[in-house]
Amino acid sequence: MIRALALVASLAPAAALAQSHAGQSHAGHASPPAQQMGQQHGAAAAAPVQPGQGAFAAIQEIVEILEADPKTDWSKVNMEALRQHLADMSAVTLQSEVKAEPIDGGMMFTVTGAPPVRDAIRRMALAHAATMNDAGGWQFAAAQVEGGATMAIKVPAADLARLQGLGFIGVMTRGMHHQQHHLMIARGANPHH
């Protein structure tokens, strides 16, 4: 069994390379620049698609949407505001300290960090609580505290295990409003009001 898995694993790169060559014609057709570079080195290469960093990718996605929309009012566009919001998201996700404790019908999250992170926590937690309050029967209450913010969340009894499993950061990701939120920020709107 182990030998079979090793064989499959060793053949996968070769199969992928063969598949990438299957759609190419070498009959004098021009290749895209990325493929030309790969061919210069003796092998065809697929064009890269990853921008290299998540915040950069989110900004790139919004720029493409704005540029494709002939109704974009460029006098209101503020990509710097979006960059700052994404910096807040990164700080809260990666640099904050979270304490979770059960409360009657839910959880209380105390989220803290050093001064720059503290400010990001406050902006993110208070805005998210206001946006998501009452969604799906979940009740949010956020408040500033020394070093950050608290977020008390009360849920229907059937959702208590989900809330505990999600924890603070999982709760922050709920509600596919983030992408529209980013577009609103970039367009110069204040989606928190």
Question: Residues 36-81: pLDDT tens digits?
Answer: 444 455 556 788 888 889 999 999 999 999 999 999 999 999 999 9
The model's confidence at residue 119, banded by pLDDT at 50, 70 and 90, is very high
Contact present, 50 and 85 (Cβ < 8 Å): no
Can you give the pTM of this predicted structure?
A: 0.70
Interval 122-133: pLDDT, tens: 999 999 999 899
For residue 19, the model assigns a pLDDT of 38
pLDDT over threshold 80, residue 101 = yes
Average pLDDT over residues 104-116: 97
- Angle, nearest 10°, between helix axes 79-95 and 54-68? 150
- Residue 139 pairs with which residues in a beta bridge? 154
* CA proximity to 78, closest of 50, 99, 59: 59
